[in-house]
Amino acid sequence: MTGEFAVIGLGRFGGSIVRELSANGYDVLAIDADEERVNEFMGLATHAVIADTTDENVLKSLGIRNFEHVIVAIGENIQASILTTLILKELGVQIITVKATNDYHEKVLRRIGADNIVHPERDMGIRIANGLMSQSILDYLELSNEHSIVEIKASDKLSNKSLIDLDLRAKYGVNIVAVRRNDDVIISPQADEMILPEDILIIIGKDTDLDRLERTLRSR
């Protein structure tokens, strides 16, 4: 990574990306058609400009093709989001991440070549719902339509056993990729690693397999 990003659309989602990247020392070009939003990021982003990103000449003048990663975070204007993404693709931007507002929007974005597509509102809703439905699952991250990563607190059914004793891969088809213990994280734990009460297990697998595991943990 060159550490140079461009973020198009400075609403809640795009603005949070600009703030986080800037706070971590990355160079960020912040772009929006709304002057008030741009002014908000003048002292935060490396550069903040008012621009219509559906105009190819405008994007060229901004040197957008020199940015390795461009995030299109345009909110309600689906047409502007699609057209901006198409122009970025034609200009040869290496990595394009786009916020999708619905499944139709995502389908079009995939067809025109967006590299990464995110549904921030939907994904956050899924994470909150999973937390409400289960006392075992602490956090949830969707990797694809079929696979996810979950954080599960070691319950009585999991603690004081080694990974080989639990044998979750054979029983459920899921893998423990890390164990968070207090302030430490054990990456790729060994088979003889003992799971202690209060450990947090970070598990990856197919959604159907993770559901089977979660139902088992809920049962008495």
Q: Taking the model in full, what pTM does it have?
A: 0.62
Q: How far is CA 70 from CA 20, 77, 91, 106, in A?
A: 15, 18, 12, 17
In order along its 220 residues, the chain shows pLDDT tens digits of 456 899 999 988 899 899 989 988 889 999 999 999 999 999 899 999 999 999 999 999 999 999 989 999 997 789 999 999 999 999 999 999 999 888 889 899 999 999 988 877 666 555 545 554 455 555 666 676 678 888 888 888 888 999 999 999 999 999 998 898 988 889 888 999 999 988 988 888 888 888 888 878 876 5
The secondary structure of the chain in percent helix, strand, coil, rounded to multiples of 5, reads 40, 30, 35
